[in-house]
């Protein structure tokens, strides 16, 4: 872990170490700030919250939201919840996996994209929905997904 990330980690640990049930908000804060939960953080988190490394690891691995490796430059979330599935998100996710050459929870070899499932983006009336980085898009067809990914490639 880079020294600056270790400093950030300590700030979050100090904030949540005395909070009851602080592990989950702490993990969210770390991932929001650093982008992932470094495995080297399990020991200091456990020590501060009086948990074993195995317990911290268990929680991180239980929730698919948490990643233990840095994400790609862009994160593509495909909605897999009911409304989007009814409107074709299953084909859309197959297309995304083929287009990017990765499965869910993976990052492309060029580190440009990480693909993640999500269970409702609050955009059900415009299903199927996709989120690219922080922006939600509705009624996404395969062609529209191609365009979104192409546009993301052109940024950063
Ligand atoms: S089910 Fe996909 S946005 Fe709600």
End position of a domain, from candidates 20, 38, 62: 62
Instruction: Give per-residue pLDDT as tens, 1-43.
Output: 788 888 999 999 999 999 999 999 999 999 999 999 999 999 9
Instruction: Give per-residue pLDDT as tens, 108-150.
Output: 999 999 999 999 999 999 999 999 999 999 999 999 999 999 9
Does 86 have pLDDT greater than 90?
yes
List, in sequence order, the alpha helices (H) in 17-126.
23-34, 42-49, 53-62, 82-86, 89-100
What is the per-residue pLDDT for 64?
84
In a domain, 69, yes or no: no
Instruction: Give per-residue pLDDT as tens, 88-104.
Output: 999 999 999 999 999 99
**Which residue do the tokens 């233990």 mark?**
68
Count of positions (residues) in the chain: 156
Range of 53's domain?
A: 3-62
What is the per-residue pLDDT for 26?
98
Same domain, 44 and 16: yes
Does 65 have pLDDT greater than 90?
no
Same domain, 98 and 46: no
What is the per-residue pLDDT for 156?
54
Beta bridge partners of 133: none
Same domain, 79 and 15: no
What is the per-residue pLDDT for 113?
97
Which ligand 1 atom minimizes the distance to the CA of 82? 1
Which ligand 1 atom minimizes the distance to the CA of 126? 3
What is the per-residue pLDDT for 10?
95
Beta bridge partners of 136: 131
Pocket residues for ligand 1 (CB within 6 Å)? 79, 81-84, 120-121, 123-124, 127, 129
What is the per-residue pLDDT for 1?
75
Which ligand 1 atom minimizes the distance to the CA of 136? 3
Q: Ligand 1, from 121, 126, 137, 139: best to mutate by most atoms within 8 Å of Cβ?
A: 121
Prediction pTM value: 0.81
């Amino acid at each position: 872990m880079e020294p600056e990330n270790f400093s950030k980690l300590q700030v979050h640990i100090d904030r949540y170490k005395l909070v009851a049930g602080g592990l989950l908000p702490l993990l969210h804060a770390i991932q929001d700030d650093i982008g992932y939960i470094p495995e080297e953080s399990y020991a200091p988190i456990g020590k501060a919250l009086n948990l074993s490394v195995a317990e911290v690891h268990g929680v991180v691995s239980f929730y698919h939201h948490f990643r233990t490796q840095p994400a790609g430059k862009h994160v593509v979330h495909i909605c897999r919840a009911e409304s989007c599935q009814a409107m074709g998100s299953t084909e859309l996710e197959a297309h995304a996996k083929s287009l990017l050459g990765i499965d869910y929870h993976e990052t492309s070899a060029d580190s440009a994209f990480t693909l993640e499932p999500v269970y409702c983006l609050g955009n059900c009336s415009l299903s199927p929905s996709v989120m690219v980085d922080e922006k939600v898009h509705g009624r996404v067809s395969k062609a529209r997904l191609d365009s979104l990914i192409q546009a993301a490639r052109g940024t950063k």
